[in-house]
Amino acid sequence: MRGGRHVAAVTGASFDLAAGECLALVGESGCGKSVLASALLGLLPGNAQTSGTAHVDGIDLLAADERTLARTVRGRRVGLVPQSPAAHLTPVRTVGAQLAETLRALTGTPRRETAAATVAAAGRAAFPADHLDRYPHELSGGLAQRAATALALIGDAPLLLADEPTTGLDRDLVDRTADELRRHTDEGRALLMITHDLAAAERIADRVAVMYAGRIVELTGARPFFGEPGPRHPYARGLLAALPERDFTPIPGLPPELGNLPAGCAFAARCDLVSERCGTRPALLSGVACHHPPAAPGDRTGNDA
């Protein structure tokens, strides 16, 4: 609820994520990506409502109570790299103390081995060892991001939710962070990477889910998405075309408010393929939710225009 109104922040999101796989969830700010991650960990505001199922290691995350989430899910089965790391770090404890506490809690690291294990944990996220005695307020945005990533990686959880894990990092650190997340995945764990950074997504993702106005409008392999034949949804094509290394052409207009969505296709007002059919909401069929997608490879029927 927002201002007494019901806001459908995420609707009908459906996907699977296998061990050893990275799914990149991309889209403009405000489309519902972070809300989805918060819902999976039970971190939504008290007035939020969820429905459906989300299973990890036999536990339905959406049905689990707070005790289960706190003791057996967060950090152990599902790790989180938060979107706002400074807000998730304990302000009165040093980064080193927080890493050490997490190591003991999640891995049972003996106290005599904690110092070396803390340095090693920091190194996984390129957090400098000589900053471990600093408090969160003494860190730059990029350092806070690396500290949060180091904390999230400690438990080696089967599922890692990385919400904008490269925010505030320069390109070299973006690549290093992305590569570490990919290593985490290659060791047999699943990664849901929520990001605006399409270059980072292209670097490590196996599949891409494009979200627009609270709905997944395209779900496809990363290779065809970033290469050939490219995205099939007009919005997804616009996201790539807006990149400086591509056409550098912005998508015209603005996305609709989640509390005031149109009855039909939410992208229709910004789409140059709009027709009368777009007055009805398209379902996600064959990986794309559009009435006028280009033909999928091997699809003999072509466009239904």
Whether residue 169 lies inside any domain: the answer is: yes
CA distance 269 to 278: 10
Which residue range is the domain that position 161 belongs to?
Answer: 22-253
- pLDDT at residue 296 in the model: 59
CA distance 239 to 243: 7
Which alpha helices (H) appear in 12-59, and where do they start and end? Answer: 33-40
Report the relative pairing of strands 207-212 and 215-221 from DSSP bridges: antiparallel
**How many domains, the chain?**
1
Whether residue 220 lies inside any domain: the answer is: yes
Tell me the CATH number at 131.
3.40.50.300
Whether residue 211 lies inside any domain: the answer is: yes
Whether residue 269 lies inside any domain: the answer is: no
Helices 95-107, 141-154: inter-axial angle, 10-degree rounding: 10
CA distance 265 to 278: 5
- pLDDT at residue 302 in the model: 36
Phi, psi of 104 (to 5 degrees): -65, -40
Whether residue 118 lies inside any domain: the answer is: yes
Q: For residue 229, say if its preceding peptide bond is cis, omega within 30 degrees of 0.
A: yes
- pLDDT at residue 93 in the model: 97
Whether residue 92 lies inside any domain: the answer is: yes
Whether residue 12 lies inside any domain: the answer is: no
Could you report the average pLDDT of every consecutive run of 10 residues in the chain (305 residues)?
74 94 95 93 92 94 96 95 88 97 94 96 95 96 92 95 91 91 94 95 97 97 96 96 93 92 95 96 95 67 35
- pLDDT at residue 228 in the model: 94
Whether residue 231 lies inside any domain: the answer is: yes
